[in-house]
Amino acid sequence: SSAPRKLSILSRSLIIVNLYFDNMLLGQHSLPLLISYDMHQNAVPQTISTTQYGRQFLDRLCKPVYDLLKLHTLNRNRQRNYLDVVMLKDWNGLQEEAATVDICFQREFGLEGNTGSMLYVSNYVLATTIGLMEHHVGLGIELEIFHGHYHLLTAFWYRDFLLSTRLNVMTGMRDQLKARKAMEELIRLEEISQQQKQANKSAKKKKGKKAGKKGGQTNGAEAADEQSSLKISIEDEEDMVEFLQLTVKRTLCRGIVRFLAALNQAQVLKKPQYKFTSHEICFRKRFESFNQIRQPPLLTHDDFLKGSDFGLVSSTTLISSATDCFTTSRGLLQEIGEESKKLEDVYRSIRKDDVTNLVKVCVGNSLFLLKLSKSIANQDVSTLNVSLDFKDCQFCSINL
């Protein structure tokens, strides 16, 4: 989800020039076809892409998807500006068009009564839109637009909301896909069973009952072998690793929010005071780009105050909760490392160095949480000094 940091501007310019030419992606791949395949991997039925309105929507998606690919060849400042000016507005418009495609699909196939579970294209577009919003916040952290512990608290809190929403949407899409694959497998097995019965009848007529029994056993074994030989595709493995990455990001955001809240509660950190502005104005300006988006709705400063209020939670509970977040993240990162070994480099969505840096963030924060807990128990928090160490560009270790 981030552009290679060591590529020169010349290299990135060459990538953009060769990204799309001769009306083909990289000069050899049909972009609508690749988009439709990605949609099918994300629970959108293949039937939709064969309809007239489905094909028109695929053509409409080409430019935004090309912009999405081009986005990651830009430097960090231009990425954020491009999101503000072009992409968020485009994907908000796509949400309305996707809703129209879903309505047409429901009407054509008589599915009007199941609107809640039939928003296939809408969920696909929504998941992508939320991903862009989350990337926008992550860029703000990298570029130090969210400067200081208080504004970082707002950034990680908002990012936690976006990641949770995206994971919920993706979970629904994965469940729909699993249910459809299970139904397709059931239909396939029924067809095999019917073919087996017909073959047995034919064999009995030609060679008698013994030959029929023998043929039936063979066909049954073949069906069992086919059922047991179902394998997870490389794309499914890649999607699973991506899902784990999003879960790690969300858990890290929650851990950092709770860590900062514990420091505020222990009065190690204090909320900054301003003469010419306010915290509400700062919050509104930081996230004003999301006013362009219909779904998910823009969160307000009041939402932040309610969502980050841990006044009724004891310091011990808060520190324990933060520690659990970093412990869970570390376990998930180990799982990502194991799963990534099964994939070729071209399918890996996270580098080994990035995994190592995130593990360091987890370990460092866990150790400093332990130090904070001991300092609170000894009533010696006045000697603690806080510094933020961004071993990973978007997640920090809070050093004491």
d(CA 15, CA 176): 36
Rounded to the nearest angstrom, the gap between the alpha carbon of residue 79 and the centroid of all alpha carbons in its chain is: 19
In order of 43, 64, 192, the CA distances from 125 in angstroms are 12, 11, 37
d(CA 26, CA 63): 15
| pLDDT tens per residue, range 247-258 | 999 999 999 999
pLDDT by 10-residue block (mean), the chain, 400 residues: 62 84 85 91 88 93 92 90 94 93 87 70 94 95 90 95 94 84 80 82 63 46 44 74 92 95 90 89 94 92 92 90 94 88 74 88 93 88 86 82
Helices (H), 297-351: 301-307, 315-341
d(CA 142, CA 2): 11
pLDDT of residue 217: 45
Distance in Å from the first CA to the final CA of the chain: 31
Q: Which residue has the tokens 């500006």?
A: 81
- Contact call for residues 385 and 400 (beta carbons, < 8 A): yes
| pLDDT tens per residue, range 21-53 | 887 888 888 999 999 999 988 888 888 989 999
Instruction: Spell out the residues 6+ positions from residue 105 whose beta carbon is closer than 8 angstroms to its own.
Output: 45, 47, 48, 51, 53, 54, 111, 118, 120, 121
pLDDT of residue 205: 66
